[in-house]
Amino acid sequence: MEIPKSALIVVAFVLVTLAVLFMLGSNRPQPGSSNVLNQSPNQTENQYSNTSAGGANGGNGNGNSPNSSSVANSGASGSSREVVMLQTSKGNIEILMDRAKAPITVQNFENYVKSGFYDATIFHRVILGFMIQGGGFTSDGSEKLTQAPIKLESNNGLKNAAGTIAMARTSVADSATAQFFINTVDNPDLDNAPGNDGYAVFGTVISGMDVVRSIESVATGVHGQYSDWPLEPVTITKAYME
């Protein structure tokens, strides 16, 4: 039986539409892609190869603060709680660390916090409906020098859910240094999975998710070679352990 031309046209249209949607989904910028803002990927990869050490950088997905189960999954309780305060130009963000699930990543992050590294840095990459990224640049666009990269701990059971914090990196798995990002929605594409190294979650925002939302909503543009750069600086004035 001969298939009508109109039916063939409809089938062809559907196939083309599906192909376009697939391409758009697969091309979504990820925090660790080498073609998006990070710690100058080439520099970081060279640093990794030179140090032989083991920079996305990239809840409930409905815009609300993390629920109690998300906080409980952080694995910290009682006097053992490790909380980092980020004082920003938009308000304060409290983050509960999960040393039990991500000991290397938490220690690395806290070392930067205690050294004052994050003070006067900015959130330099902001994408509405994705994440906010900071910890590597000053307001004039200068990139800060970091310590050696750390081993990737993405296979720790923690998910890139809304309100979680994870380390940024390049396409090299063990390349995270100082940059981090806070997921503003559930980002399962950033989780560790077969064929996908993923991004290491190491804590949860327990206070200040409204501040995260405020930062997520700022106007962005191009700054030199970088896109998604806030037009008005959003500064981390001080980071410290509570």
**φ, ψ dihedrals at 195, nearest 5°:** 80, 5
| Residue 117 CA from chain centroid, whole number | 18
pLDDT at 148 over 60: yes
Residue 48: its pLDDT value, please? Answer: 32
Contact 98, 158 (CB under 8 A): yes
Domains and CATH numbers, the chain: 30-241 (2.40.100.10)
CA distance linking residue 38 with residue 179, whole number of Å:
8
Distance CA 37, CA 133 (A): 9
What's the Cα-to-Cα distance from 183 to each of 31, 81, 137, rounded to whole Å? 10, 21, 19
Is 61's pLDDT higher than 80? no
pLDDT tens per residue, range 206-237: 999 999 999 999 999 999 989 999 999 999 99
Report the C-alpha gap between 165 and 236 in whole angstroms.
15
Q: Which of 126, 118, 111, 110 is nearest to 211 (CA)?
A: 126
Instruction: Kindly report which listed range (52-56, 95-99, 155-159, 199-203) carries the lowest average pLDDT score.
Output: 52-56
- Provide Rg for the chain, Cα atoms: 19
Q: What is the rounded CA–CA span in Å between residue 90 and residue 60?
A: 23
Average pLDDT over residues 4-21: 63
Find out whether 66 and 204 touch, Cβ atoms under 8 Å.
yes
Q: What is the predicted pLDDT for the residue at 97?
A: 98
Is residue 55 predicted with pLDDT exceeding 50? no
The pLDDT of residue 111 is: 98
48-52, 54-58, 164-168, 203-207, range with the lowest pLDDT:
48-52
Q: What is the pLDDT of residues 121-133, one digit of tens each?
A: 999 999 999 999 9
Distance CA 115, CA 147 (A): 11
Question: Tokens representing 135?
Answer: 């910890």
> Is pLDDT larger for residue 15 or for residue 50?
15
